[in-house]
Structure 1
Amino acid sequence: MSWVQRSALVTATLASLLGASAVEGPAASAATYNSCDISGCSDAASANSTWSSLGYPTSRGWYDWPDGECSYAGGTYYNDNGELPSGDTFYEYDVYPRACGAHRDAYRIVVDFNTGEVWYSPDHYSDFYEL
């Protein structure tokens, strides 16, 4: 196998492991819903309440949670695919607390610092449900 073939195989393997495709074009835009009535919405609303009580920290990192666990503030959400209102400033936060430093899951809330609107994403930014 030539180095070009090996390189292509490694690239395709890495893309597959990361959930991407080396052959497809850009991902389709996420779906955005103006209400939240799916499983997890009440957990997202509860997490939002706690993050709000912490003043919505804007620095990335682990923050102490009321039950002795931690939750992660992910910092700026860049809205690169334009799913949410353009030109606004967004920050993202984990929904489910865990031990500090533990592996993060895909559940997020995204807060629009311009309007105060909050969205729940149960699938790491593939869909957004307004809380």
Structure 2
Amino acid sequence: MRRPHLPWAKRSAVLIAAIASVLSVSAVNSPAANAAVYSSCSIDGCSDAASANSTWSDLGYPTTRGWVDWPNGQCSYAGGEYYNNDGQLPSGDTFYEYDVYPRTCGAHRDAYRIVVDSDTGAVWYSPDHYSDFYQL
């Protein structure tokens, strides 16, 4: 059976869309396999991450994904379980991820996260959506 002939412009557009889709899914859903993990945090944003962690702790570290009312009338997002698929953090533990910076409920999320080890209480700050981790 012969496939229908598509004009070169349409074939190119379909190919580009398919490649972009694959690249965007892998970039968003997969942390960098070569992520660096640091035992302390002294970069810009560490104090903001520590402050966010204090608020999340006061809220009992929610474990379900969703928007959470923040003290200043804004919201912040609890991302649910962080699966540590690439093994940058201690293996065998359970982790949950939280946004650092509050915003209006439903607004676009940025790349700044804290990840909490629910087994040990250790907390890491990731300023670049899991490419690097700095322990708070």
TM-score by length of 1: 0.87
Kindly indicate whether residue 134 of structure 2 is the aligned counterpart of residue 129 of structure 1. yes
Residue in 2 that maps onto 1:13: 20
Which of the two has greater helix per residue? Answer: 2
- Which runs of no fewer than 5 residues in structure 2 stay unpaired? 1-7
Give the letter aligned to residue 69 of structure 1.
Answer: Q
Residue in 2 that maps onto 1:41: 46
Deviation of 1:14 (Å): 2.4
Q: Secondary structure at the match of 1:110?
A: strand
Tell me how far apart the structure 1 counterparts of residues 32 and 61 of structure 2 sit (CA, whole Å): 29
Tell me how far apart the structure 2 counterparts of residues 88 and 4 of structure 1 sit (CA, whole Å): 46
- Which runs of no fewer than 5 residues in structure 1 stay unpaired? 21-25
Flag the 1:110–1:15 CA change in 2: closer, same or farther, 3 A: same
Number of residue pairs aligned between Structure 1 and Structure 2: 126
Q: Secondary structure at the match of 2:98?
A: strand
Cα deviation digits, residues 87-112 of structure 1 (max 9, x gap): 10000000000001100000000000
Give the letter aligned to residue 45 of structure 1.
Answer: A
Larger radius of gyration: 2
Residue in 2 that maps onto 1:112: 117
Kindly indicate whether residue 83 of structure 2 is the aligned counterpart of residue 81 of structure 1. no
Tell me how far apart the structure 1 counterparts of residues 94 and 131 of structure 2 sit (CA, whole Å): 19
**Do the aligned residues in 2 keep the contact of 1:29 with 1:82 (CA within 8 Å)?**
no
Residue in 2 that maps onto 1:72: 77
Superposition CA RMSD, Å: 2.1
Taking only the aligned residue pairs, the percentage that are identical comes to: 70
Deviation of 1:15 (Å): 3.8
Cα deviation digits, residues 23-61 of structure 1 (max 9, x gap): xxx953210000000000000000000000000000100
**Do the aligned residues in 1 keep the contact of 2:32 with 2:131 (CA within 8 Å)?**
no
